[in-house]
Chains A and B, each alone.
Chain A
Amino acid sequence: MSLTLEQVRRVAHLARIEISEVEAQHTLDRLNDIFVLIEAMQAVDTKGIEPMAHAQDVAQRLRADRVTESEPFAQRTAFQAIAPETEAGLYLVPKVIE
């Protein structure tokens, strides 16, 4: 199979990556090369094989749902010091709801 330009544009939008027409065409060519490599997998009969999601077949550990940071406000300040835009402890983004 091969992808279409329209699929590349759609996937780029889903991934929230702006893509120009020139880039989309170039990307399409590269992705089609890569999908030729990936398609090799389709010839394999995997009926009855359990998908392997992780390197170790162990149950994921869970932890109690409680605050573990000793100084959450100091930590918030440190983390927000590197944010593009904050105010009163909140991250600012362009207005979403009119």
Chain B
Amino acid sequence: MIEHSLQAMARSLADREISSVELTQLYLDRIVRHNSGLNAFITVDPAASLAQARAADERLARGEGGPLTGIPIAHKDIFCAKDWLTTCGSKMLSNFVSPYDAAVISRFGEAGAVMLGKTNMDEFAMGSSNETSFYGPVRNPWDGSCVPGGSSGGSAAAVAARLAPAATGTDTGGSIRQPAALCNLSGLKPTYGVVSRYGMIAFASSLDQAGPLGRSAADCAILLNVMAGFDDRDSTSLDRQREDYCRELAAPAGNKPLAGLTIGLPEEFFGEGCSAEVTRLVEAAIAEYRKLGAETVAIRLPSMGLAVAAYYVIAPAEASSNLARFDGVRYGHRAADYRDLTDMYCKSRAQGFGAEVKRRILIGTYVLSHGYYDAYYLQAQRVRRLIARDFAEAFRQCDVILGPTSPSTAFKLGEKAADPVQMYLSDIYTIAVNLAGLPAISIPCGFASGLPAGLQLIGNYFSEARLLHAAHRYQQENPWHLQHPDGFA
């Protein structure tokens, strides 16, 4: 059952081969057995999950089930969920039981999905290894001495070890795609504005976007169908015609299912900076795409080298503003002893935030402060425009852009933890996509020394269905995604 696709799982539930209570209990048992070694979940509440499963079973018995009714889903602990501890990986929110549901949580609830638990993550989604979490690092199921990636590291580890059939994540600079690559999963960052940010704890509001982490592109399409949609409670939610992201996946695969698709290969993604083994695997995948009928064309993204620099001005600037709300007054951590109001703020925030979050707040405060705003913040926004223009120019020549997701396979726990700059550079291929607001998916493309590598497909605005189709056709012929780590029976 645990290797069933979401579609097959839904069929088993609809045919009453298994009940949602049984399926949920199966995963809860797996979490008990394996989570202590992985640390993928921060909160599990079996009673709450099983109550949802019973409701789903009633709905299924009435014949009113949908594609996710009764299926357990793990949620990144960045999504507020009513009556659930919602920590965002931080001591600051270690006592925060949310009084309301995020839009993403509501939408899964309406679909009849079961909430399986809240997954570990880098504190306030600031990190690429899950090592900044107040709740401790997550281990990569493929090699326990390695990181799972971040910031959605708990979600990725949970799905990779089959402790959940699928999970949600958020992606501000690569936080869905990079852990997907490092854990042999498929992870999609939608176009900015497609999924509501309501109730999703904000890091950098102009970049944050929620998306699915699944075992296949087909599973991601089913999840996105539930997650996407207009929400008037998020002022940046886009009011668009609903679309079915699965629509292109069911068609029978011909001999050349991707005939007519032009794939752009940016030379900036294939130079130094990417490990030889990842480059080799991505190049092998390009050959497979040609066999599927796609054409390839060399393209340039000249401003790509500036993306990390611009991002580490814009994201911290927005974070310093967003995280000002954590002041020990209305919710979250308040220091026990203080002299006056200012001292209460200063001590509550010093105690509640970890080192990386403090660093980013300080960078953000600095680049927005008097005398530095133009040189840093406005310059970064101008560079952001150049990066978006590069993509717009590239999409005149190609339909999708292909390259590595991450410059290396999973690195060792502790390897980059003391050096923020090295850590930041692990998102070198993912960050530009967030700056431009484009959709992108990471899918498995093979193994190097037993560790998975991912390739990234980037599309133009609102091309999620096309990306999912291009990913799905590759997965039908190159089933790397079906491999799973040993030791999680």
Contact = CB atoms under 8 A, between A and B. Distances in A.
Interface of A: 3, 7-8, 11-19, 27, 30-31, 33-34, 36-42, 44, 46, 49-56, 58, 60-61, 63, 75, 78-79, 81-85, 91, 93-96
B18 interface: no
B342 interface: yes
A14 B421 contact: no
Contacts of A14: 365, 369
Interface stretch (B43-51, B173-181, B346-354, B464-472): B346-354
Contacts of B334: 84-85
Contacts, number: 159
Contact of B329 (A38, A41, A81, A84): A84
> Which 10 pairs across A and B sit closest by C-beta, in order of nearness?
A55-B437, A51-B381, A55-B192, A46-B382, A18-B350, A52-B385, A18-B346, A84-B334, A16-B345, A49-B382
Nearest to B331: A82
B361 A30 contact: no
Contact of B381 (A16, A30, A52, A93): A52
B329 A11 contact: no
A37 B382 contact: no
Given A16-B345, A17-B350, A50-B385, 12 more contacts: A12-B362, A33-B419, A34-B421, A34-B424, A38-B312, A40-B306, A41-B306, A41-B380, A52-B381, A55-B434, A61-B235, A79-B331
B365 A82 contact: no
Nearest to B308: A37
A86 to B, nearest CB: 9
A69 B344 CA distance: 31
B273 interface: no
Contacts of A44: 303, 306, 379, 383, 386
B201 interface: no
Contacts of B303: 44
Contact of B327 (A16, A40, A41): A16
22 contacts: A12-B362, A14-B365, A14-B369, A15-B361, A16-B345, A17-B353, A17-B362, A27-B359, A37-B421, A41-B310, A41-B376, A41-B383, A49-B386, A51-B378, A51-B385, A52-B435, A54-B437, A79-B330, A81-B99, A82-B95, A83-B329, A84-B334
Given A30-B420, A37-B421, A56-B236, A93 B310 contact: no
A16 B340 contact: no
Given A56-B238, A91-B330, A37 B358 contact: no
Contacts of B305: 40
A46 B143 CA distance: 45
